[in-house]
Structure 1
Amino acid sequence: MMRSALAVAAGVLALTPAFVWAAEAKPPIPSFEISTSFVRPDPLPPSKLEMPGGVTVWKDLVYIQRPGFRPLTLDLYTPAGAGKRPLIVQIHGGGWSMGDSRQMAGFKDFPAVLANLASRGYVVAAVNYRLSGEAPSPAQADDVDAAIRWLKAHAAEYGIDPTRSATWGDSSGGHLSAMAALDCSGDDCVTAGVSWYGVFDLTPPPNIPYDDKLFATTNAFLGCKIITCPERVKAASPITHVKPNPPPMLLIHGDKDFAVPFTQSVALADALRKVGGDVELKIYEGANHGWWAATPEATRAFHQRALEDTFAFFDRVLKPSR
């Protein structure tokens, strides 16, 4: 049977008209341009969107490509008009292990929040960074610093005033916001910082017995068991980096926070005040982690209040031009 089938196939091929083969001939491969540099611009640039209020969003700008890791990106929201605008670097939360640049707290459409902030006279960068499953600390803080340096290096291109900048984050992003504000050098320094319900001292509480499950998120972030690596804990704790003349900071926390005790914000505020820092501490009575509360109305009110306090702080310390 096999020999018969092959014979039939051969006969069919022998009878195929020559013009069929000519029609299926592949076109020649053109001579493509070759780069003279290993580092090249993306030939498929990030998409550019227009949002309400005259805001332009540049999605998925690559700010660094580290060998062995995915390209790290940010979304950039720029206001209408010319001139240099203050820069706000927004850092998402998620226990250092999840989340992305388009999520924060309970907001259903967080990019709309960032676009509204940009329309008030700011350039807003929402940053993605390596998660703890990809690399342990200090990778996350290093990535935020790299994003700040990239943004300042591209200040002229995007209308950024590199002398006026702030970080803003929630939860683990609040931790990274404080790290960027308090532990910096040169071009990765900012002039202000905002943290919502952040953790600032990773030292294990003396009154809580160690348990792998209880500290699993922090252990994954540090790349070690929290009780075995005190130097790494110290290096990753923003409170240990407080020094004279810190940038102005706004710390907001709920007194019913189940994940991060509000005493974390109280302790950092005290440390900043001891060195003469300009710090605003706001404790929301009845607010849980992520601004969740007993009723949907209260949850919505805490989200709105946090935005109002945060935007007012930015206006005070960065003085945007609209």
Structure 2
Amino acid sequence: MRKLLLCGALCALLSVPAQAGKPVTAEVGKGWSQDDKLPKQPVAFPGGVVAVPDLTYATIPGYRALKLDIYHKQGAKDRPLILYIHGGGWAVGNSRGLAAFADFPAVLADLAARGYAVAAVNYRLKGEAIFPAQSQDVDAAIRWLRANAGTYGIDPKRIGVFGDSAGGHLTAMAAVDCDRSVAVEKGDCVQVAVPWYGIYDFTVTDKPRPPEDFKPIHDFLGCKDAADCVEEIKAVGPINHVDAKTPPFLLLHGELDAAVPPIQAKVMLDKLKSVGAPARMVIYPGVNHGWMAQDVELMRSTHVRALQDTVDFFDEVLKP
């Protein structure tokens, strides 16, 4: 009896005729297509700025699509570009957060209102791919932004980068390790860099540290220990790629940074000056990694000061 009831329901379902008069519609291209055609909903900010989220800048087989956000004034032309690269130990983080800023997209929109186009990039994290995948992704984003400069009002000859912690490291790498054989308006080189509390020399420490402190770095590089990592540690250090063609740098660091000690900024500054590259350093008193401090007002004021120093430096170099 149960089988008869099941068959009856199934047979009745299968006997329902297809809706007549409604042919399917589909536009067919000339080849395989993985383009994301779902419209990106723009978000309006004060000052006439519009943010366009989740634009795909690269598709690498075996990985998620790589995306970035753009903040710009519609109709504006030939604006210098600021690219933000997020931190998080190369393991976490995304394009919409930085330190303790309560609404970082609003911060980026404010930069766009000052006369810039602004982009914020996501890259493959170390759990997805080992170095140099992260730098390659940033380079790919820069090339994509230049290729689409006309759409977003970007001057492809004026690009600055900034980022924090792991993003500070990738900011420095973008500035010192690029393909200079390609024309500026088409390649991945940038014209100015402002890394926040970044790592520049993976062989320098402020004090003896236990081997376990270096495990995240070895994981990032895909090797077991320091002995197995000699060439990788050299390649990952921005300090080892500095030369006379390196663009202007502003190095920002906290005096009490226990995660990435200020000696990192100091050795990088010395290296930059040794080759004649324009470089400055600012050490903010009383703050730790991420501009953190027990004094809430000091933490707040340092966030604002670091942002102001960053914008002033971009104004000086990109908007002469």
Normalising by the residue count of structure 1, what TM-score does the alignment of the two structures yield? Answer: 0.90
* Superposed displacement of residue 181, structure 1: 0.4
**Aligned residues of 2:253 and 2:283 also touching (Cα < 8 A):** yes
For structure 2, list consecutive stretches of 5 or more residues without a partner in the other structure.
Answer: none
CA separation in 2, counterparts of 1:286 and 1:162? 38
1:300 corresponding residue in structure 2: 300
* Superposed displacement of residue 210, structure 1: 4.5
1:62 corresponding residue in structure 2: 56
Change (3 A) 1:13 1:31: closer
1:89 corresponding residue in structure 2: 83
Alignment of 1:24-103 (within 5 A): 25-26=18-19, 30-103=24-97
What SS does the corresponding residue of 1:195 show, helix, strand or coil?
strand
* Superposed displacement of residue 82, structure 1: 2.5
Q: How many residues were matched structurally?
A: 312
Deviation digits for residues 238-287 of structure 1 (CA, Å, limit 9, x no counterpart): 00001013101110001100100011001101110111111120001111
Normalising by the residue count of structure 2, what TM-score does the alignment of the two structures yield? Answer: 0.91
Q: Is 1:156 matched up with 2:155?
A: no
What SS does the corresponding residue of 1:214 show, helix, strand or coil?
helix
What SS does the corresponding residue of 2:213 show, helix, strand or coil?
coil
Alignment of 1:171-210 (within 5 A): 171-185=165-179, 186=182, 187-203=187-203, 205=205, 208=208, 210=210
For residue 91 of structure 1, what is the amino acid of its counterpart?
Answer: I
**Aligned residues of 1:77 and 1:114 also touching (Cα < 8 A):** yes
Change (3 A) 1:54 1:294: same
Change (3 A) 1:207 1:260: closer
Larger Cα Rg: Structure 1 or Structure 2? 1
1:218 corresponding residue in structure 2: 217
Change (3 A) 1:197 1:205: closer
For residue 95 of structure 2, what is the amino acid of its counterpart?
Answer: S
What SS does the corresponding residue of 1:157 show, helix, strand or coil?
helix
CA separation in 2, counterparts of 1:316 and 1:118? 16
2:99 corresponding residue in structure 1: 105
2:135 corresponding residue in structure 1: 141
**Aligned residues of 2:204 and 2:264 also touching (Cα < 8 A):** no
Deviation digits for residues 128-177 of structure 1 (CA, Å, limit 9, x no counterpart): 00000000000000000000000001111111101101110000000000
CA separation in 1, counterparts of 2:64 and 2:303? 32
**Aligned residues of 1:92 and 1:103 also touching (Cα < 8 A):** yes
What SS does the corresponding residue of 2:190 show, helix, strand or coil?
coil
Alignment of 1:1-16 (within 5 A): 4-7=1-4
**Aligned residues of 1:85 and 1:122 also touching (Cα < 8 A):** yes
RMSD of aligned Cα (Å): 2.3
Change (3 A) 1:210 1:296: closer
Percent identity over the alignment is 50
1:165 corresponding residue in structure 2: 159
For residue 103 of structure 1, what is the amino acid of its counterpart?
Answer: G
* Superposed displacement of residue 6, structure 1: 4.2
Change (3 A) 1:33 1:296: same
2:284 corresponding residue in structure 1: 284
* Superposed displacement of residue 208, structure 1: 2.3
**Aligned residues of 1:46 and 1:60 also touching (Cα < 8 A):** yes
For residue 127 of structure 1, what is the amino acid of its counterpart?
Answer: V
For residue 208 of structure 2, what is the amino acid of its counterpart?
Answer: I
* Pairing partner for 1:127 from 121, 124, 127: 121
Stretch of structure 1 that moved more, 77-86 or 186-195: 77-86
Deviation digits for residues 72-121 of structure 1 (CA, Å, limit 9, x no counterpart): 00000112543210011100000000000001111111101100001001
